[in-house]
Amino acid sequence: MARKKVKKWIFRFRGTSDSTQGSTLLSVLDNHSLKVLDNNLPKMVLVSGPDEAIESAKKEIDSNWIVAPENSSYPIPDTRKKIST
């Protein structure tokens, strides 16, 4: 049985602060069984869940919410000194 890949997603609010937006978002996330990892309302929420649930939740929330996958890996430059010959 294949397991669904679960990614972390960031929901960020770009509108003016409105206390009802956060509660509405949390109820939509709960309806789709998405797990809230970090609740920094009213501006941002970190969520984990399968892509299908994220996509259906995006359709139900206000257009002021930006949804993007969390980028948890960044390239790190090699800072070691190089000896030229």
Please compute the mean of the pLDDT values over residues 1-17 and round it to a whole number. 78
Q: What pLDDT, on a 0 to 100 scale, did the predictor assign at position 19?
A: 65
Please compute the mean of the pLDDT values over residues 2-17 and round it to a whole number. 79
Work out how many domains the chain is built from and give that number.
Answer: 1
Strands 65-69 and 44-50: unpaired
Specify the higher pLDDT residue, 84 or 56: 56
Does any domain span residue 81? no
Half-sphere exposure of 75 (CA within 13 A, CB side): 2
How far is residue 22's CA from residue 26's CA, in Å, rounded to a whole number?
Answer: 6
Does any domain span residue 43? yes
Does any domain span residue 55? yes
Does any domain span residue 10? yes
Residue 2: pLDDT above 60?
Answer: no
The CATH number that applies at residue 51 is: 3.30.70.100
